[in-house]
């Protein structure tokens, strides 16, 4: 097949491209220039979109022996990922920008352009698997599994995706990169949010949304126990940085329970008040096929590296409803709820939705 390898400049995408060549595909490498000003993005271990990452990708393509191009997608990335990130926080929700990037950039804009140019598929370095039936599965390296952030992909997108690393651990990928003479073999993994240069999400949002002072309220008494400069600086389950002026009567720590943009109020309370036994989501994607007919057992995950709990899920008119077999804490609107099959492996994605 004629395939396009998305090369971020990291070790995973470089080895994925090399494996695609070894599998007999005609491979072309492409690096996505996502920053309007690349030097404002996180660098080294922290980035995936900087000038140095583009250079690392180009050097890897030279070693592998494939053509290499850079595609400027900065405006699309800013609109679909950065602006969406800011808008979601302003609305009191907690988005996952990596998930949105996969959905809107890597497997929408890039795939659409690749198909238009005559490519059959897109290869990425994601740690996930596609089984012979095209079903999305977890990586064998559960610590690096990225099936959660890929669950937003449609069947049509998965049919044109190749994930060569799903059967390998990260240690095996690094060792292979070294054997192939790829300079990125020891390059640290990217972390956090690539477009927030210093890692300070609250300051990033404040610069774009401005100060919006409001109250922090205790859920049990209704009393004002603190103030804030912007409700967008908080997320459900947060404990640190609350700056409460009034301690809890029992002396126990308090956590963010909810965020209400309409009143600009952050509500706090005890840890047990975070327990959630039912979750609803909208904009469903049934990665595993058609929506289930009635209620079915599943394993539910609500954060990229969060706990997985047994649940009963059901398709609704607008999305997915899940009744949890055991409570979860820190479930925030805007995150993705991803359902996996409850079989012995428990690693096949059924579908996902955005938590409301």
Q: Which two tokens stand for residue 201?
A: 């999400």
Q: Which two tokens stand for residue 346?
A: 């428990």
Given the residues 48, 49, 98, 194, the one annotated as active site: 194
CA 259 to chain CA centroid, nearest Å: 22
Q: Which residues of 302-320 are buried (b: 16+ CB within 10 A; e: fewer)?
A: bbeebebbebbbbbeeebb
Q: Which two tokens stand for residue 5?
A: 């390898």
Note if 48 is an active site residue. Answer: no
Note if 352 is an active site residue. Answer: no
* Residue 261 CA: distances (Å) to CA of 90, 162, 258, 272: 7, 41, 10, 23
Given the residues 48, 49, 101, 352, the one annotated as active site: 101
- Rounded to whole angstroms, how far apart are CA atoms 344 and 251? 43
Q: Which residues, other chains included, contact 198 with Cβ-Cβ below 8 Å and sequence gap of 6+?
A: none
- Rounded to whole angstroms, how far apart are CA atoms 283 and 152? 10
Q: Catalytic residue positions?
A: 101, 194
């Amino acid at each position: 097949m004629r395939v396009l390898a998305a090369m971020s400049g990291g070790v995973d995408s470089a080895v994925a491209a090399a494996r695609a060549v070894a599998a007999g595909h005609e491979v072309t490498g492409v690096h996505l220039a996502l920053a309007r000003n690349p030097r404002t993005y996180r660098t080294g271990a922290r980035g995936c979109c900087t000038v140095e990452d583009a250079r690392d990708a180009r050097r890897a393509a030279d070693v592998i022996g494939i053509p290499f191009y850079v595609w400027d997608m900065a405006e699309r990335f800013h609109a679909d990922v950065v602006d969406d990130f800011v808008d979601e926080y302003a609305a009191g929700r907690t988005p996952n920008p990596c998930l949105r990037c996969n959905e809107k950039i890597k497997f929408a804009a890039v795939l659409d352009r690749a198909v238009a140019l005559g490519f059959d598929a897109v290869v990425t370095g994601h740690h996930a698997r596609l089984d012979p039936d095209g079903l999305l599965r977890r990586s064998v390296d559960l610590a690096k599994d990225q099936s959660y952030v890929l669950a937003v992909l449609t069947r049509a997108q998965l049919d044109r995706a190749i994930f060569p690393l799903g059967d390998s651990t990260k240690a095996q990928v690094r060792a292979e990169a070294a054997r192939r003479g790829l300079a990125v073999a020891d390059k640290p993994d990217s972390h956090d949010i690539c477009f927030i240069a210093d890692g300070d999400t609250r300051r990033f949002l404040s610069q774009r949304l401005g100060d919006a002072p409001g109250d922090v309220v205790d859920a049990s008494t209704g009393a004002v126990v603190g103030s804030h400069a912007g409700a967008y600086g908080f997320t459900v389950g947060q404990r640190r940085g609350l700056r409460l002026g009034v301690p809890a009567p029992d002396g126990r720590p308090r956590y963010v329970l909810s965020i209400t943009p309409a009143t600009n109020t952050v509500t706090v309370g005890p840890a047990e008040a975070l327990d959630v036994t039912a979750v609803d989501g909208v904009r469903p994607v049934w990665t595993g096929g058609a929506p289930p007919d009635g209620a079915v057992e599943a394993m539910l995950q609500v954060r990229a590296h969060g706990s997985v709990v047994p649940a009963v899920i059901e398709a609704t008119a607008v999305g997915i409803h899940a009744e949890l077999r055991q409570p979860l804490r820190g479930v925030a609107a805007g995150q993705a709820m991803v359902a996996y099959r409850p079989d012995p492996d428990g690693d096949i994605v059924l579908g996902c939705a955005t938590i409301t």
